[in-house]
Structure 1
């Protein structure tokens, strides 16, 4: 592997990450503030590639894996894959690091991964670099400038959502429920910063925070418990699991207050059918596809921004329409609004449902 990359991997630290220099610039745009680019000597394909997932306990992770498998199965993409390995390790960081190390030792050309936590992968990155295996971190990204990161801007993600909820509050005095994600992940950390950037500075607002693990069933339970304990809230902001949130609100017969959530199909249906005021911002499961496209581009010798910032699909309750931006014919846990058209990543549900989220 070292010979294939000439021994040393080239990291462009002083080169501008302008749209003119980037591979597929309409897709791979640098995250605001990013100037560093990455490039490596081209290596002929097809490649041995892998996805190392962590947490497996929600529908988003299922759709994320299905998205990658569906995209990789298309003939125009399959030609780049000598092998596609899928591994889900759970939430133990040591197990995830061991899985990546094993793939590096086995000679894989590249690995994309969702980090269990953002701070534990420095030695792993160094070992992969020495072996000539390229790493790309996406979704819950690592705190590193040495590998490519692919994400949506997470602080802004939740800040925009929270500002919408605040602007639409019927009263500016009372309790707001923050429903967080999976503890220890960079997305949960950064989203909570965005939420508190809005509500933490407002007099008269009391913040109640619960952990929903980005899972509909967990969110429904913790929201029901919060309402039983604290009474009514003046607003709700959930990182994910919005269908669970809406079901809890309906079960409790809670007054209609503004909601900030994600783009789960079932939640959009409930919101539209019951005339709730809401904003939905989508962390797309197709991040896995964009990360893999970027990895293949790097292996082919392309230059890309070190930190890629993708647009956040956003849906407002006033614009919801059955058959347009959600569908009563699709499963409730399907993540709507998940395509990245700028990246030519459009994945019909028929393609997704042909794939399983299983390890292989």
Structure 2
């Protein structure tokens, strides 16, 4: 149990009063709107009292079992290693805690107790963090979740439009099916992500918002956990059970689905997938129609940029939506959109140029995914 003396309670109240909310957002209201653009349904601006740096900042990751999360950690470390950011950081720490929301909350609480100024994190669960948000407010710690965000409007959150991301992939697959058949019919495979996460939920709803409009489509859904090995297994099982599909959509781990299809002698069909290097190489080689669209893992760096901006006293939209990097599969170019000389695990969308210069492959691959 934590106790607070009178002075601490007064300080906490002052920190709570440091929030500034407005009911509408315009370019004049917020810091660097070219980077931190407000989501269409954003209704608040959040601002804290400016504090002097350098700052103690942590990134508390949850699940760490796929290439996306590895790149997210590498991207956070690469951001912290850049000279212009290094000067603002007294300490920078990264930890991964697994899929247990209690473990993640405990890690965040530890950093709050240690006096960290800001904490970014990928939430294990979208609904379990209301108490830790209050504790962070009392302590004056800025929280910025990203990717898997929270069902709250109390703090700044950084994401892409997950519903739109899912819908984009489904629209591309439906469009290519219609182009090939003259109508939208047949069976499609949906490979979803890690259950219980807001990103998985919203991607799924986005896909279904498109697919459910077409009564001639049969949708088979399997759970891939955003892990290429799992995706390969569940795709192979789905093909063995249902036969060939007319289209395939994968939230993350597309290379696994492509390998399963190749091993099964599955024909080339439209693919709506992610932007992993291995996936894009196979798509380009096999001439799979469709779209690769990315939840770019270096969003981790944008969340850190947002956290520091808030500590510096800048106002940001409560709900930040970043642009979705995407490319038509027919337009993928070697050396630009995929890299034969880099590992399949490399993620090809390496930054958001409206926020800061994109990372080079060398910057990202020079960082480890280990706890620090």
The corresponding residue for 1:251 is: 263
How many angstroms does 1:9 deviate by?
4.1
2:134 pairs with 1:126: yes
User: Are the equivalent residues in 2 in contact too, given 1:5–1:41 (CA < 8 A)?
Assistant: no
2:181 pairs with 1:173: no
Choose from 13, 16, 38 the match for 1:8: 16
CA distance in 2, matches of 1:255, 1:316: 19
Choose from 52, 55, 61 the match for 2:69: 61
2:107 pairs with 1:95: no
The corresponding residue for 2:27 is: 19
The corresponding residue for 1:142 is: 150
Structure 1 segments unaligned to the other structure (5+ residues): none
> What root-mean-square deviation, in Å, do the aligned CA atoms of Structure 1 and Structure 2 show?
1.4
**Equivalences for 1:1-360 in 2 at 5 Å?**
3=11, 6-169=14-177, 170-171=180-181, 172-360=184-372
CA distance in 2, matches of 1:288, 1:3: 30
Secondary structure of the residue aligned to 1:40 is coil
User: Are the equivalent residues in 1 in contact too, given 2:20–2:48 (CA < 8 A)?
Assistant: no
How many angstroms does 1:355 deviate by?
1.1
- Per the normalisation by structure 1, the TM-score is 0.97
How many angstroms does 1:5 deviate by?
8.6
- Per the normalisation by structure 2, the TM-score is 0.94
How many angstroms does 1:338 deviate by?
3.1
CA distance in 1, matches of 2:43, 2:37: 11
1:35-76 superposed Cα distances (whole Å, 9 cap, x missing partner): 310001100000110000000100111110111111111111
CA distance in 2, matches of 1:251, 1:5: 61
CA distance in 1, matches of 2:12, 2:222: 49
CA distance in 2, matches of 1:46, 1:106: 15
Secondary structure of the residue aligned to 1:246 is helix
How many angstroms does 1:207 deviate by?
1.0
Secondary structure of the residue aligned to 1:85 is strand
Secondary structure of the residue aligned to 1:279 is strand
How many angstroms does 1:3 deviate by?
4.1
Structure 2 segments unaligned to the other structure (5+ residues): 1-7
